A and B are shown apart, each in its own frame.
Chain A
């Protein structure tokens, strides 16, 4: 369907119309900052456009798009780390970004929830987001992240507990 150049562009536009929002928010939840999310979305679009001819219809299109977006977002985070530093160590910087990007009159519980998510290891956070916000199946998340379904179920369970505990600790007193 997307062989010719103009057909490819048309298909690309349709794709972004359908999945653009989901991709933007998926990226935003990983990199937190809006400007970062915009850059990553741009890189994702270029990657999608350049490799759209190699997309094989045997897999889900959404999964393919999410995988590209996830990889680009992770690469973006890696570029922000120092040498030998793991991306999980960026959580404090991401919390600062979150605080800078939320309105002063924003909902405290929503901010707290996002802070709780930022305490999770990055891969666990991505899996949690894909399940909780995007409502993807474990099989789809497995195709995006390259993890097994069992690992993802365990991760989701632990992530949920950690987030609940964090919220409890920070609301009880």
Chain B
């Protein structure tokens, strides 16, 4: 190291004593640890909230799809849907008419 600025050395014109800086460092250390713990807790809380929301959405959507799927499936299997009920009311003749119905037969109004 050069022998520079011998008169000045490493002294600096500031007021802060060594003890003051010691206390400052301790306080800064504590604050940093607290801040990190808070950030970790906040991240954990966010993660729990997001997971809970995802589970709730999954349960609701599963329930809806189960409920809807079951009723449609049941109706198809038992032939009890509204269309089946209508078709059951038709006579054989009407059913045949329905089968051979052509577009030209639409009456004009």
Chain A residues in contact with chain B, CB under 8 A?
Answer: 9, 12-13, 16-17, 20-21, 24-25, 28-29, 34, 38, 41-42, 45-46, 48-50, 98, 101-103, 106-107, 109-111, 113-114, 131-133, 135, 160, 163-164, 167
Contacts and interface: CB of A to CB of B under 8 A. Distances in A.
Interface residues of B, number: 25
Interface of B: 1-2, 4-5, 7-8, 10-16, 18, 21-22, 24-25, 28-29, 31-33, 35-36
Contacts of B14: 28, 34, 101-102
Provide the main secondary structure of the chain A interface.
Answer: helix
Contacts of B13: 98, 102-103, 106-107, 110-111, 114
A16 B25 contact: yes
Contacts of A135: 1
A103 B15 contact: yes
B7 A109 contact: yes
B35 A46 contact: yes
